[in-house]
């Protein structure tokens, strides 16, 4: 389980997160939702130990963050972290050489799942295929947790559908997923838990199934209530 407890963050003198707390469990998809600039990416970067906390604490399976964290979790950013001149195949070889947790079988399955051409250069990929390669590289690591920053951002409906299918496929089974998005429609039915952020604060968080049963409301219904009130 990932426990984010009273976390705050300042960039210089600018406070961007204030007392953010939530829990994300394995086997569940937790969505961090909020408009641009509310601090969603910063939360993911802090969990991935890529930027220091200004206050509070983050624990992963009971342990505080350490440089070894990359063996427990994968951070999939919204831009591809590979040189544009590399082919997909070379990127796979690079990841395989670098990470002990690389799972080649899963990588091959994901290449097929996304119908990618291994000989294609990163620079020549469409936005949708770039997002898919990013997911392929991240999800081929055997980690318990996956952090995805805006995997649907700026891509067409067909790529979005393929990425949505990924969420109901076995590739994420038993893993804890935290996803940031402002486009919940595609995956609304797959999200287990929602954390609404606004100006660096948690406005509301809830279990989607409980909300549906108790109040008959979808994520979008609650979103309208929370952000339009
Ligand atoms: N390295 C940095 N230095 C200074 N300010 C930063 C840095 N990174 C982010 N910020 C600021 O922190 C705030 C939160 O940014 P963050 O990227 O976490 O938001 P976000 O909700 O993920 O936004 P988006 O949806 O646009 O990705 C913004 O005001 C941003 O300008």
C-alpha 40 to ligand 1 mean position (Å): 8
Strand partners for 147:
75, 178
pLDDT digits (tens, 9 = 90+) for 27-74: 999 999 988 888 999 999 999 999 999 999 999 999 888 777 677 899
Atom 28 (ligand 1): residue with closest C-alpha?
37
The alpha carbon of residue 91 and the mean position of all alpha carbons in its chain are separated, in whole angstroms, by: 20
Two structure tokens written together for 28: 């569940």
What is the reported pLDDT for 46? Answer: 95
| Mean pLDDT score, 13-22 | 95
Nearest CA to ligand 1 atom 10: 11
pLDDT band at 213, cuts 50/70/90? Answer: very high
Q: What is the pLDDT of residue 111?
A: 96
- Mean pLDDT calculated for residue range 187-210: 92
Closest CA to 132 of 165, 181, 177: 165
CA of 39 to the centre of ligand 1 (A): 6
What pLDDT score was predicted for residue 169? 86
Token pair in block for residue 77: 């950013």
Contact 48, 77 (CB under 8 A): no
CA of 37 to the centre of ligand 1 (A): 5
Q: What is the Å distance from ligand 1's center to 64 Cα?
A: 24
Q: How far is CA 47 from CA 1, 60, 146, in A?
A: 12, 8, 11
Task: Please state the rounded mean pLDDT for residues 187-213.
Answer: 92
| Residue 38 alpha carbon to ligand 1 centre in Å | 7
pLDDT digits (tens, 9 = 90+) for 129-180: 999 999 999 999 999 999 999 888 878 888 888 888 888 888 888 899 999 9
ipTM (interface predicted TM): 0.94
**Is 195 within 8 Å of 215 (Cβ atoms)?**
no
For 186, the token pair is 């595609």
Quick one: pLDDT at residue 135?
Answer: 93
Predicted local confidence at residue 208, as pLDDT: 93
What pTM, to 2 d.p., does this model score?
A: 0.92
Q: Quick one: pLDDT at residue 156?
A: 83
Query: Residue 69 — φ and ψ, nearest 5°?
Result: -55, -30
Q: Which helix (H) or strand (E) holds 1?
A: none
Ligand 1 neighbour 41 (Cβ under 6 A): yes
Residue 186 has pLDDT above 80, yes or no: no
Q: Whose CA is nearest to atom 4 of ligand 1?
A: 11
Q: What is the pLDDT of residue 19?
A: 96
Tracing tokens 């063996």 back to the chain, one arrives at: 71
The residue whose CB lies within 8 Å of the most ligand 1 atoms, and thus the one to mutate among 4, 14, 16, 35, is 16
Residues in the chain: 229
Ligand 1 center from residue 211 Cα (angstroms): 30
Q: Is the pLDDT of residue 105 over 90?
A: yes
Question: Which domains are delineated in the chain?
Answer: 2-228 (3.40.50.300)
């Amino acid at each position: 389980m990932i426990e984010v407890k009273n976390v705050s963050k300042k960039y210089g003198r600018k406070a961007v997160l204030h007392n953010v707390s939530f829990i994300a469990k394995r086997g569940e998809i937790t969505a961090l939702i909020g408009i641009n600039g509310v601090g969603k990416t910063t939360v993911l970067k802090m969990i991935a130990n890529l930027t220091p906390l200004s206050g509070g604490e983050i624990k992963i399976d009971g342990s505080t963050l350490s440089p070894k964290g990359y063996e427990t979790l994968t951070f999939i950013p919204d831009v591809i972290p590979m040189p544009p001149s590399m082919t997909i195949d070379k990127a796979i070889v690079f990841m395989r050489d670098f990470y002990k947790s690389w799972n080649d079988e899963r990588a091959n399955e994901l290449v097929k799942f996304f119908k990618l051409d291994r000989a294609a250069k990163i620079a020549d990929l469409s936005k949708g295929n770039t997002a898919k390669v990013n997911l392929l590289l991240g999800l081929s690591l055997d980690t318990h947790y996956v952090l995805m920053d805006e995997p649907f951002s700026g891509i067409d409906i067909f790529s979005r559908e393929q990425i949505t299918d990924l969420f109901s496929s076995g590739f994420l089974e038993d893993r804890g997923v935290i996803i940031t998005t402002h486009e919940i429609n595609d995956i609304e039915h797959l999200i287990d838990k929602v954390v609404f952020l606004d100006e660096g604060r948690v406005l509301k968080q809830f279990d989607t199934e409980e909300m549906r049963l108790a109040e008959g409301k979808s994520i979008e219904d609650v979103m309208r209530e929370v952000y339009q009130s």
